[in-house]
Chains A and B, each alone.
Chain A
Amino acid sequence: MRSDPKTFDALVAADQASEMVTFLTTERLLFKNRKTQKIEPGLAESWKLQEQGRRVVLELRKGVQFSDGSPFTASDVAFTVRRLVDPKLNSPKSSAFRSGEAVAKVEVLTPHRVAITFPAIVPGIENELAGIPIQSERNREKAGLGPYVVAQYQAGSLIVLSRNPYYWRTEGGRRLPKIDTVRIAIQQNADTEAERFRRGEYHLLESVDPTLYERLERDLPGQAHDAGPSNDIEFLWFNQAPQAPVAPHKLTWFQSRSFRRAMSLAIRRDDIVRLVYQGRATVAAGLTPPGNKLWYKHGLKPHPFDFEAAKKLLQQDGFVLRGDNLLYDRQGKPVEFSLITNANNKARARIASLIQQDLGKLGIRVNITTFDFPSLVERIGRTLNYEACLLGFVNLAQDPMSGMNMLLSSGPQHMWNPNQKTPATAWEQEIDKAMREQASTTDAKKRKAAYDRVQQILSEEAPVLFLAHRNTLYAASPKLHHVLATNDYPRLLWNAEHLSWSDR
């Protein structure tokens, strides 16, 4: 794990480390099988949707106990939902359970039957329920329903998880999990992590850098694995916010569709895949990765490398290449912008450098500036003091509902122009309409059609230049069995209770 968990409270967990630990120490009403991407029964044996998907009645599993031995009942579900919708908690998992001032209501019907009424229609309600960790009403901080409990936490270095003796899942009549103790090392440095794996001190690496992957594959044959395109994506966008402290002539470039498309056409994405990821990545066509079976728009093509088309688009917008090999805009200003990204990310630094080279051939000067993550967040989220930014998302959620704050023009994470009062462009208005449409129905076909439209508009208007989805690269000791890697987090430990160990 790259960093310490910021919290052990599963309802508040937002960072990857906290999500990982709380995934292993809690259990959800429904279970999402990461391999099949299908929803399966969890703490609820069955469920029934009512009132056009606004209400769900859940039959809870009997005989389930928390790690302190206390019984799991409908009161625990009610406690969790009430806590989740408490505005003071500010939970990242509460969006479906809140709509403006209105919040979800929960009724305990019997000790093992509970009903939740949502304030509005919730598309993908099962997915939402599969994301809510149930907490104990009596002993929230200490008791959990997951396969493991936190036995030791040594800040900055180690988390030791020990098996929950009351865990409810069984296999062949034997109570799971199979492994008694899991030691999660907190290791910021990928090279150190790989070295420790090589020495046999670590047995499972959840994420391996492509360069290190090649080395591990060579040194430890059969222990490094490639599970295909992940849900991670690398992308670039230009700051289009009128209130941003960006020179007006640059804002005019960034707000031009032709300029953005020309930039996209001039980037050799194949080179990024080949040189940065050693071929272990997929060129991105849009926001949704190909591994997302339900929402990926088949037929959406990545922007190809087409230098001549890029030049033509720039000419149409009044840009000219002068004798000094620099591109100038209509006002005679040289085309030059800064590209910011986060420090300590080797892959991103190399992508930035390749983009700099590619755009340099058009006569554009790109100045790369790296910031540590808090400084970068301050610039892109608060001061908007930047021109272009190269960043990535890890583990994009599968359902478009989770992208509302990013894709709606009024959203705070609408990166290229956040918090708009009214959509600045007609195409953003169209995206808003389609996103609201998919959010207001439970009809899967209608939702897919609306979201496909969003993906198409994003591709045509290019507010974000999608670059690549890196592959899920991991390493596992041959002594560890039943590792089923997926592209959805937690990629390797989603079935932790089934993993087993043999010394031979």
Chain B
Amino acid sequence: MRVAARLLVRLPVTLLFVGLFGWLLVRLAPGFGVDEREIDSRFSAESIAALQAEQGATAETPLSYARRFLQGDFGTSQTFGNIPIAQLIQERWALTTTSVVVALMAAWVLSIVWAGLGALWRPLDWSGSVVSFSLLALPSGLVAVGVFLIGAPVALGIAAAVFPVAFRYTRQLVFDAMSQPCIFAAAARGVSRISVLVRHARALAGPQLISLIGASAAMAVGAAIPMEAICDSPGLGQLAWKAALARDLPTLMPLILLIATVIQVANIAAEARA
């Protein structure tokens, strides 16, 4: 109930703010409302005036846009063959969702196993730290290029973006849990280190880990945008990237709101677990 209440209060405020901010950012960007055909020598002065008038007529106010949006009419894309934006999102959401979910699972399973085993065997801990720091230092664009060149799925690139943070947090939680007095007591009673880790440390670190997984969902969604754009994966991230470059406000707005919703829901869920 508390989660639902938080969502009801926070989500509309976030969407209003993000929506307005996104709107202003695109609306005020240089080149907004400019048609490339204006420098096409086949168009006469009258034709260019007509093009400019057309662009002016399609520039909506945030209020009229919000009204249309709430009625489920997202409009049509100016960049992608004039097709309905709802259709564009419908065609692409499954690919991005799959990539993000698979990446989150892969990154967290690997982090938990690696950090857990690292607590038992030092060389594994060091190697995990080296890998996570290396991935943290690499620009995500470069990781994406690598993923594309080896022909790996986009999920691998997103997982590579989430893993360093996931590993650092997991490692810290496992080490904190392993230094609790009750863990020392269990070890003193002769319980094996693996049993201590699996039974006791898991119980101590588990709830915090779950809340962190929720928070990292936001990171994965953010990473999906450049990964899909560079790896040429036709998901929502690629759509958002292309729409932003083309100043395609009608296409960009529902995507901004969708991403904001996912991030907000994930954060509230994480807080609830914490």
Contact B31 A155 (CB under 8 A): no
Instruction: Given A189-B232, A372-B245, A419-B45, decide whether A14 and B80 contact each other with a Cβ distance below 8 A.
Output: no
- What are the interface flags for B66-89 relative to A under an 8 Å C-beta threshold, 1 for contact and 0 otherwise? 000000000001111111000010
Most buried by B among A7, A8, A90, A375: A90
Instruction: Given A90-B47, A153-B83, A155-B83, decide whether A374 and B30 contact each other with a Cβ distance below 8 A.
Output: yes
Is B41 an interface residue, CB under 8 A from the partner?
yes
Contact of A375 among B30, B37, B239 (CB under 8 A): B30
B contact residues around A187 at 8 Å (CB): 232
Contact A373 B81 (CB under 8 A): no
Contact of B82 among A6, A158, A402 (CB under 8 A): A6
Contact B31 A373 (CB under 8 A): yes
A contact residues around B234 at 8 Å (CB): 154, 156-158
Is B91 an interface residue, CB under 8 A from the partner?
yes
CA distance A180 to B77 in the complex (A): 30
A contact residues around B30 at 8 Å (CB): 371, 374-375, 378
Contact B40 A374 (CB under 8 A): no
- What are the interface flags for A152-175 relative to B under an 8 Å C-beta threshold, 1 for contact and 0 otherwise? 011111100000000000000000
- What are the interface flags for B110-131 relative to A under an 8 Å C-beta threshold, 1 for contact and 0 otherwise? 0000000000000000000000
Chain B 15-55 residues near chain A, CB threshold 8 A: 29-32, 34-48, 50-51, 54
Contact B43 A374 (CB under 8 A): no
A257 → chain B closest CB, angstroms: 24
Contact of B242 among A8, A93, A156, A376 (CB under 8 A): A156
Is A380 an interface residue, CB under 8 A from the partner?
yes
Contact A378 B45 (CB under 8 A): no
Most buried by A among B80, B91, B239, B242: B80
- What are the interface flags for A1-26 relative to B under an 8 Å C-beta threshold, 1 for contact and 0 otherwise? 00111111000001100000000000
Is A192 an interface residue, CB under 8 A from the partner?
yes
Contact of A7 among B31, B46, B81 (CB under 8 A): B81
Contact A412 B48 (CB under 8 A): yes
Is A445 an interface residue, CB under 8 A from the partner?
no
Contact B149 A6 (CB under 8 A): no
B246 → chain A closest CB, angstroms: 8
A14 → chain B closest CB, angstroms: 5
Is B148 an interface residue, CB under 8 A from the partner?
yes
A contact residues around B38 at 8 Å (CB): 377, 381-382, 412
Contact of B81 among A4, A90, A199 (CB under 8 A): A4
B173 → chain A closest CB, angstroms: 39
A292 → chain B closest CB, angstroms: 15
Instruction: Given A6-B82, A156-B239, A195-B148, decide whether A382 and B41 contact each other with a Cβ distance below 8 A.
Output: no
- Categorize the interface residue count of chain A: 35 or more
CA distance A413 to B43 in the complex (A): 9
A contact residues around B238 at 8 Å (CB): 156-157
Is A332 an interface residue, CB under 8 A from the partner?
no
Is A334 an interface residue, CB under 8 A from the partner?
no
Contact A412 B79 (CB under 8 A): no
CA distance A63 to B48 in the complex (A): 40
Is A95 an interface residue, CB under 8 A from the partner?
yes
Contact B37 A92 (CB under 8 A): yes
Contact B39 A413 (CB under 8 A): yes
Is A228 an interface residue, CB under 8 A from the partner?
no
Is B171 an interface residue, CB under 8 A from the partner?
no
B contact residues around A413 at 8 Å (CB): 39-41, 43
CA distance A47 to B78 in the complex (A): 39
Is A188 an interface residue, CB under 8 A from the partner?
yes
Is A403 an interface residue, CB under 8 A from the partner?
yes
Contact of A14 among B37, B91, B242, B247 (CB under 8 A): B37
Contact A405 B83 (CB under 8 A): no
Contact B32 A374 (CB under 8 A): yes
Chain A 319-374 residues near chain B, CB threshold 8 A: 371-374
A contact residues around B41 at 8 Å (CB): 402-406, 411, 413
Cβ-closest chain B residue relative to A15: B36
CA distance A87 to B50 in the complex (A): 9
B125 → chain A closest CB, angstroms: 37
B contact residues around A374 at 8 Å (CB): 30-32, 34, 36, 246-247
A contact residues around B39 at 8 Å (CB): 377, 380-381, 413
- What are the interface flags for A76-96 relative to B under an 8 Å C-beta threshold, 1 for contact and 0 otherwise? 000000000001001011010
Contact A6 B79 (CB under 8 A): yes
B contact residues around A411 at 8 Å (CB): 41, 45
Contact A373 B36 (CB under 8 A): yes
CA distance A196 to B231 in the complex (A): 11
Contact B34 A156 (CB under 8 A): no
CA distance A14 to B44 in the complex (A): 13
Contact A8 B81 (CB under 8 A): yes
Cβ-closest chain A residue relative to B44: A405
Contact A192 B42 (CB under 8 A): no
B229 → chain A closest CB, angstroms: 8
Instruction: Given A374-B30, A378-B30, decide whether A156 and B37 contact each other with a Cβ distance below 8 A.
Output: no
B46 → chain A closest CB, angstroms: 8
A403 → chain B closest CB, angstroms: 6
Contact B40 A14 (CB under 8 A): yes
B252 → chain A closest CB, angstroms: 13
Measuring CB to CB, which residues of chain B are less than 8 angstroms from any residue of chain A?
A: 29-32, 34-48, 50-51, 54, 77-83, 88, 91, 148-149, 151, 230, 232, 234, 238-239, 242, 245-247
Known: A405-B44, A411-B41, A411-B45; 15 extra A-B contacts, CB below 8 A, are A4-B80, A7-B82, A90-B47, A92-B43, A154-B234, A155-B81, A156-B80, A189-B232, A374-B32, A377-B36, A381-B34, A402-B41, A412-B38, A412-B44, A413-B43
5 closest residue pairs by CB, A with B = A374-B31, A155-B80, A375-B31, A157-B234, A375-B30
